[in-house]
Amino acid sequence: NAAMGLNKNLSKKLDLIQTDITKVYASIQAVFDYPDEGVPDTEFGEPLLSAIETIDSLLKTAKAGKISQQGAKLAIIGKPNVGKSSLLNTLLGYDRSIVSNIPGTTRDYLEVMLDINGVPVLAIDTAGLRETKDIIEEQGVVAAKDIAQNADLVLYLFDASQGLDGQRIDSKELNLKRTIVIANKVDLIDTNTKFENHIQKISVTNNQGIDKLKNLIKEKLIGDLSSTELWLTTERHEQALRQVKSHLQQALSVSEDLASIDLELALKALAEITGRSEISEETLEYIFANFCVGK
């Protein structure tokens, strides 16, 4: 059953969309089916725009919804020995990575499931990004860049005691759309040292700035959506709603007879999520109740 597993909030929203479309569809059908009954012309711009607005509000929750179900991919990148593995262990709460002060220790990468303030995250500790003559390590570096490009969020770590210059990675090469830049080891530098506003200051060694970083990770991944609002959780629902929206936009740009076809297609696409037949008894009842047909 397509309706199984639908969040109550999602069901309510879908009902609103269906009602808006149904009213307009019924009104248009009444005009065509009963031309002699003096059915008033349909004003259908407003309800369809209202339905599109509701769809847009739902589509905004799609990314967060998917993350709540499947987890987000979080890549931890940076030069060798800046504290990537130590940060992963701190976020995890116990030692999982190989922590060593020999640059290039994490030659491949480690994947760990974390819960960051209620958000499921698959954290990937990548090999240190640097030029290297070591073949195995070089493969790890290539993998790290690949992981960063496919991650939902990238934590780019650098050693505050070494300064950011010379540690910066070519952002074009990594295509970093979603990145948190983090200065680690701030316990080793003068407290008056200034960094750009967007740089998060932490010390993994003494747990400084970790809670703030967790909050920022959650905010970057799911924004300010509370857990009860993560409505769209599947790719299928998202695609179906995009179809509904497309049909509604089409309906708004054509004549009533053509709009009727688009509205029928919109209801059909909606039925893929709700499991309800696209033209329901409610539609027919609405026609008879509102247009006094045959009276």
Residues 86 and 131 in one domain: yes
Interatomic CA distance for residues 16 and 23, integer angstroms: 11
Burial of 206 (0-12, 13-18, 19+ CB in 10 A): exposed
Residues 162 and 201 in one domain: yes
Q: What is the pLDDT of residue 107?
A: 46
Residues 41 and 81 in one domain: no
| Three-state DSSP class for residue 95 | coil
- Point out the least confidently predicted range of 20-29, 108-117, 154-163: 108-117
Share of the chain above pLDDT 90, in %: 20
pLDDT tens column, 134-150: 554 455 555 566 777 78
**Within-domain flag for 271:** yes
Contact between 85 and 204 under an 8 Å Cβ cutoff? The reply is no
CATH number for the domain spanning 149: value is 3.40.50.300
Q: What is the pLDDT of residue 227?
A: 56
Residues 81 and 137 in one domain: yes
Residue, of 248 and 105, whose pLDDT is higher: 248
Residue, of 104 and 75, whose pLDDT is higher: 75
Please say which residue of 179, 196, 223 terminates a domain.
223
Residues 45 and 185 in one domain: no
Residues 119 and 32 in one domain: no
User: Could you please report the per-residue DSSP string of 202-224?
Assistant: -BTTTTBTHHHHHHHHHHHHHTT
CATH number for the domain spanning 14: value is 1.20.120.430
Residues 96 and 34 in one domain: no
C-alpha gyration radius of the chain = 27
Residues 93 and 181 in one domain: yes
Please say which residue of 223, 254, 279 terminates a domain.
223
pLDDT tens column, 176-200: 558 888 999 998 888 777 777 788 8
Residues 201 and 246 in one domain: no
Query: What is the model's pTM?
Result: 0.68
**Within-domain flag for 22:** yes
Q: What is the pLDDT of residue 295?
A: 46
**Within-domain flag for 1:** no
Residues 214 and 266 in one domain: no
**Within-domain flag for 144:** yes
Residues 163 and 199 in one domain: yes
**Within-domain flag for 3:** no
Identify the band that residue 106 occupies on the pLDDT scale cut at 50, 70 and 90: very low
Residues 273 and 236 in one domain: yes
pLDDT at 268 over 90: yes
**Within-domain flag for 91:** yes
Please say which residue of 223, 258, 279 terminates a domain.
223
**Domain containing residue 209:** 70-223
Interatomic CA distance for residues 221 and 205, integer angstroms: 25
Residue, of 235 and 269, whose pLDDT is higher: 269
Split into its structural domains, the chain has a count of: 2
**Within-domain flag for 170:** yes
Average pLDDT over residues 17-27: 87
Residues 6+ apart with CB under 8 A from 164: 158, 183, 195, 199
